Amino acid sequence: MAKGPEAFRTISEAAEEVGVPAHVLRFWETRFSIIRPMKRAGGRRFYRPQDIALLRTLRVLLHDQGRSIKDVQQLSRSEGVRALGVLADGLPPVTADRSAPEEPPAPQSISASGRPDEAGLRRLAAARDDLLAIKRRLDALLSG
């Protein structure tokens, strides 16, 4: 019988749901004070749905995006847990040298009048749409 979405998970269930081994979850608990599963007598861990969401976010940041533990620790302290979710959802992976991705080159499509040409206007519209999507996601996170 499958558990409901609001049911607590054991460490093995949480590990399977997040996609990492159980020993990784135990290790993350030692490195991130924001991970606090409930513990019953005998030390058995039970993860709430919000714990699972946080663990998924950490997996994306650490495994998929290649961020360092120290980087994620600093981000959680300075920006908060909600900001980690935004980072996990909205940023491209960190490059192999662990630095941030390069900035795109400045647009060179300015007409003689000093205004952007058609290609420049398309890039500006795409950038505006991206920023509006990010704003909607931030608003949703902050209101929820």
pLDDT in tens, 116-137: 677 777 777 777 887 888 888 8
| 41-66 residues labelled b (16+ CB within 10 A) or e (exposed) | eeeebbbbeebbebbbbbbbbbeebe
The CATH number for 73's domain is 1.10.1660.10
- Per the structure, the complete domain to which residue 118 belongs is given by 111-144
Shared-domain flag, residues 32 and 93 = yes
Q: What is the mean pLDDT of the chain?
A: 78
Does a structural domain hold residue 33? yes
Looking at the structure, do residues 92 and 129 belong to the same domain, yes or no?
A: no
The encoded tokens of residue 3 equal 């558990």
Say yes or no to pLDDT of 94 above 50: no
11 shares its domain with 58: yes
Measured distance CA(16)–CA(35) in Å, rounded: 17
118 and 81 share a domain? no
Tokens 């940041």 — which residue?
Answer: 61
User: Do 129 and 87 share a domain, yes or no?
Assistant: no
* Count: domains in the chain: 2
11-15, 44-48, 105-109, 128-132: lowest mean pLDDT where? Answer: 105-109
Residues 30 and 75 in one domain: yes
Q: Is residue 106 part of a domain?
A: no
What is the per-residue pLDDT across 32-76, written as a single tens digit (0 to 9) for each?
988 989 988 888 989 998 899 899 999 988 998 889 999 889 888
